[in-house]
């Protein structure tokens, strides 16, 4: 491992509280995000990290936030944490250093045994996020090449015996398995006692096999309707990711079972209008106001009626509300100050296809609050192609190529999503954002949109 690779590791742990213990995986998922990538993409694969390095990385963990294992970390390929030969030792090291810290582990579940659950039960507080994807042996075998799925299913039926929080995830592949398997999987997790399941939209690049491609709009629209249906039918909280947001209404997506929000009688698709008689500005604003408050009084809109509901909880206690991430007020204020302080007159907001609706709202807010000319531009993803619409998979060449199509470029400032770039300002192809400044002779601001 060279110095730059170690720097990437350290910054990932420090900035995201993600501990990437391995890049090795024991499955071959048909939907794996690392398949069918362009050949010149810049990614890091470290294998199993040594215990001595993991001990060093733990010094960079923020003690105030949960520690995450098994999630994608910047450009680092995530593997299956339970196959690390020293997994138990790693958890024991974490628990020794952080006795009460919540550890969130994302796993494909293939290595879960009863002894695994017994060990994690002793190491709590633990939250397991299991990428289950299907609740039948055929479905798991087809999607993930898991030949021993029945063992996982049997152990999941016993989860209420353990002091562990269980969540699930499904990459939706109805174009290959039909729509019925999605509800069957949600139903299975609901019966087992899972708190939440995230249903992910699949994606494909221009290099993906034709048999795996699908009509993205048809799938998205049908999946949105299915999620609404599942949230009404089952107790488990069902969430669609990525979200399809077209307004800033503080709408509740789902409610975790047996949470303060559940006990208070809040429901999916309620809209929070005020908290303790203070108007909320967005989903992010509402979520944090509720989190920070002790027993807040919520004014909600439920269909055509207005109700007031008191939420009995301590300050900083999780409410059980599940809400999409839209716009934090701090971001809006920061951009307003930047535009005003530096006397920019014409501003261009760069947007991915996925974020274009929420960027439209941000554009209007900035225009109304600064009285400056603010425009937005949706960037075409030429690098990956296919159905890829997220900002994190855009590259600098995509941005330059799309801006060149603008009839007349005379912007003072370009605002870019920070997720495009790594810790040194490079995109997935290894190019630095300063190329955009030189190409168009303009200033850039990188923000977390």
321-379 residue pLDDT tens: 999 999 888 999 999 999 988 888 999 999 999 999 999 989 999 999 999 999 999 99
Q: What are phi and psi of 390, to 5 degrees?
A: -85, 150
User: Which runs of consecutive H residues, i.e. helices, occur in 210-347?
Assistant: 216-233, 260-264, 283-292, 329-341
pLDDT attached to residue 273: 97
pLDDT attached to residue 1: 78
106-144 residue pLDDT tens: 999 999 988 999 999 999 899 999 999 999 999 999 999
Chain centre to alpha carbon of residue 372: 32
For the chain, how far is it from start to end, CA to CA, in angstroms? 32
36-69 residue pLDDT tens: 888 888 888 889 999 999 999 999 999 889 999 9
369-384 residue pLDDT tens: 999 999 999 999 999 9
Query: For residues 254 and 237, is the Cβ–Cβ distance under 8 A?
Result: yes
384-427 residue pLDDT tens: 999 999 999 999 999 999 999 988 888 999 999 999 998 789 99
The answer to whether residue 74 scores a pLDDT higher than 80 is no
Is 2 exposed, middle or buried, given 0-12, 13-18 or 19+ CB atoms closer than 10 A? exposed
More confident residue, 294 or 36: 294
DSSP string, 326-349: ---HHHHHHHHHHHHHTT--EEEE
Chain centre to alpha carbon of residue 122: 28
Is 181 exposed, middle or buried, given 0-12, 13-18 or 19+ CB atoms closer than 10 A? buried
Rounded CA-CA distance 402/406 in Å is 7
pLDDT attached to residue 132: 96
Run of H or E residues at 446: strand 443-447
Angle at the Cα of 273 from the Cα atoms of 269 and 276, rounded to 5 degrees: 125
Name the average pLDDT for the chain: 93
Domains of the chain: 3-241 (3.20.20.70), 250-322 (2.30.42.10), 329-447 (3.40.50)
Query: For residues 103 and 127, is the Cβ–Cβ distance under 8 A?
Result: yes
Query: For residues 294 and 276, is the Cβ–Cβ distance under 8 A?
Result: no
Rounded CA-CA distance 239/237 in Å is 7
pLDDT attached to residue 294: 96
For range 255-283, the mean pLDDT: 95
Q: What are phi and psi of 42, to 5 degrees?
A: -100, 105
For range 219-227, the mean pLDDT: 95
Query: Cβ neighbours of residue 220 under 8 Å, at least 6 residues apart?
Result: 201, 244
75-96 residue pLDDT tens: 888 899 999 999 999 999 999 9
pLDDT attached to residue 160: 84
């Amino acid at each position: 491992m060279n110095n730059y690779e170690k720097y990437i590791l350290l910054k990932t742990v420090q900035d995201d509280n993600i501990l990437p213990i391995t890049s090795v995986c024991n499955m071959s998922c048909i939907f794996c995000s690392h398949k069918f990538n362009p050949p010149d993409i810049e990614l890091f694969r470290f294998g199993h990290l040594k215990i001595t390095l993991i001990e060093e990385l733990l010094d960079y963990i923020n003690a105030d936030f949960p520690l995450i294992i098994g999630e994608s970390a910047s450009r680092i390929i995530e593997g299956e944490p339970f196959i690390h030969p020293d997994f138990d030792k790693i958890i024991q090291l974490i628990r020794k250093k952080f006795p009460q810290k919540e550890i969130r582990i994302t796993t494909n579940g293939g290595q879960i045994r009863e002894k695994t659950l017994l060990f994690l039960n002793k190491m709590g507080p633990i939250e397991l996020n299991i990428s289950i994807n299907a609740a039948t042996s055929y479905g798991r075998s087809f999607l993930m090449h898991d030949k021993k799925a029945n063992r996982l299913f049997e152990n999941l039926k016993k989860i209420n015996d353990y002091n562990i929080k269980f969540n699930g995830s499904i990459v939706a592949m109805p174009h290959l398995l039909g729509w019925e398997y999605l509800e069957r999987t949600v139903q299975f997790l609901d019966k087992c006692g899972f708190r939440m399941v995230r249903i992910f939209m699949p994606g494909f690049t221009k290099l993906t096999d034709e048999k795996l491609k699908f009509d993205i709009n048809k799938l998205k629209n049908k999946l949105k309707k299915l999620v609404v249906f599942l949230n009404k039918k089952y107790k488990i909280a069902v969430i669609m990711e990525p979200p399809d947001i077209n307004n800033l209404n503080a709408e509740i997506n789902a409610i975790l079972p047996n949470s303060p929000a559940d006990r208070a009688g809040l429901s999916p698709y309620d809209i929070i209008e005020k908290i303790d008689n203070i108007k909320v500005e967005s989903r992010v604003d509402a979520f944090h106001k509720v989190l920070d408050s002790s027993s807040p009084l919520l004014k909600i809109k439920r269909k055509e009626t207005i109700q007031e509901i008191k939420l009995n909880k301590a300050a900083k206690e999780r409410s059980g509300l599940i809400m999409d991430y839209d716009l934090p007020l701090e971001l809006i204020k920061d951009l307003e100050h930047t535009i005003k302080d530096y006397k920019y007159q014409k501003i261009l907001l760069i947007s991915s296809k996925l974020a274009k609706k929420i960027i439209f709202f941000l554009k209007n807010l900035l225009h109304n609050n600064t009285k400056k000319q603010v425009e937005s531009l949706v960037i075409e993803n030429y690098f990956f192609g296919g159905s890829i619409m997220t900002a994190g998979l855009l590259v600098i060449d995509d941005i330059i190529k799309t801006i060149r199509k603008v009839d007349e470029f005379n912007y003072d400032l370009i605002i870019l999503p920070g997720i495009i770039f790594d810790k040194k300002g490079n995109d997935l192809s290894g190019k630095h954002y300063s190329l955009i400044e030189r190409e168009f002779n303009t200033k850039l601001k990188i923000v977390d949109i």
